[in-house]
Amino acid sequence: MSQDVISQAHDDQRAQNIACIRQYVDARTPEQRGRRWELYVDDCTSGAVAGVPLKGKEIARKCTEWNLVYFPNYVFNDNIIFQSTDPDYYCVMSKGTGGINFPAYGGERQYDNVYFHLIRMQGGRMKEYFEYSNLLGMYVALGLEIPHLDGPPGWPEHTPEEVAYDPYPKPQYSDPAHPDVIPAGDEALRAKNIACIRQYVDARTYDERNRRWDLYVDGGECTSGAAGLPVCMGKDKARQCTEWNMVYFPDYVFNNNVIFQTQDPNLFMVMSDGTGGIYYPAYGERKTYENRYFHTFRMRDGKIVHYYEYSNAKLLFDVLGVKMNAIQVPAGWPGEV
């Protein structure tokens, strides 16, 4: 059995931790949102994309108060709690929606984005919390120009159906009343799916990376995509994307891969630290590109049906030297943004 399959040895510990996490991500009212800081331990760290981890519960309180002012009515929907084999380590995927009110941009605007909340727990309280998203979504919401990126040719053209497709996962819970309980009895299927996922994210050699497309189900049913772009449908396009990546992201690999899972034995997330070469001819010689990735996988009998790769795409502009205006963040955030 795969070492990545969750055992039933820590059910009570998981239940206690998840109850706290649910209070955080499912908060709706201003009162509920305003008490999030109380869910941390005293010597916690917290932070969000484009910032640095901030230490201490008092700082967490100030961040909570700042968010209530500048992200009014902001909530997280369709929250999926992904669990690791460590009963204190979780990643929650969310659709964030609500207002963003940065005074420099003329009042409140609608802001939607996909979030990944990486959480390490301690005794039913949050020890470490960091929130990842694609910062380009905030640029769009604030009306800031995103420069044209001169990408290499060869990526497949997108159809209207692909543009309209929402890659956000749709869990198929066996016990919808208790969606965060991972049952016993499906370990063999999980192990088979995880073996395929490991082939994908742990690929190191040229041949291993070049065969990723063959891990998808046959035909036109599968989808793949990355970095805020529309999906590509079908195994033929998955092969085209693989071949394109081999040229323009030479020797790019995913390190420190952590597999997270849900009650649905066919739905997984992998968090990775990606590193390696990026070569976009319009921007000169090969450069080293690093980013944090969240890969979502919908599996079927050990093959990939749906795959999407989330990251902060602004870092791609940064490494290529494409200048973007800095976001004018309101005063009062207790850390560096």
- 31 and 111 in a single domain? The answer is yes
- 215 and 67 in a single domain? The answer is no
- 176 and 105 in a single domain? The answer is no
- 173 and 302 in a single domain? The answer is yes
127 contacts 102 by C-beta, under 8 angstroms: no
Domain count, the chain: 2
Do the domain assignments include residue 331? Answer: no
Do the domain assignments include residue 154? Answer: no
Alpha carbons 134 and 118: distance in angstroms, whole number: 15
Residue 335: predicted pLDDT: 62
Residue 39: predicted pLDDT: 98
Do the domain assignments include residue 193? Answer: yes
Residue 147: predicted pLDDT: 95
- 106 and 183 in a single domain? The answer is no
Do the domain assignments include residue 145? Answer: no
Residue 197: predicted pLDDT: 98
Locate 171 and state its tokens.
């869990």
Q: Give 135-179 as a DSSP string.
A: THHHHHHTT-------PPTTSPPPPHHHHH---S-----SSTTST
Do the domain assignments include residue 31? Answer: yes
> Given 118, 133, 148, which residue is the final one in a domain?
133
Do the domain assignments include residue 173? Answer: yes
Do the domain assignments include residue 71? Answer: yes
- 170 and 313 in a single domain? The answer is yes
- 315 and 233 in a single domain? The answer is yes
- 116 and 208 in a single domain? The answer is no
54 contacts 335 by C-beta, under 8 angstroms: yes
CATH of the domain at 57: 3.10.450.50
**pLDDT tens per residue, range 214-242:** 999 998 999 999 988 999 999 999 999 99
- 113 and 243 in a single domain? The answer is no
Do the domain assignments include residue 118? Answer: yes
- 175 and 263 in a single domain? The answer is yes
- 229 and 102 in a single domain? The answer is no
Residue 8: predicted pLDDT: 77
Alpha carbons 51 and 129: distance in angstroms, whole number: 12
Residue 337: predicted pLDDT: 39
Residue 91: predicted pLDDT: 98
Domain with 224 in it: 160-320
Task: Report residues of the chain scoring pLDDT below 70.
Answer: 1, 335-337
- 182 and 110 in a single domain? The answer is no
Please tell me the pTM assigned to this model: 0.95
Across the chain, where does the E strand assignment appear? 40-48, 54-55, 75-83, 89-100, 109-122, 125-133, 223-224, 232-233, 253-261, 267-278, 287-300, 303-310
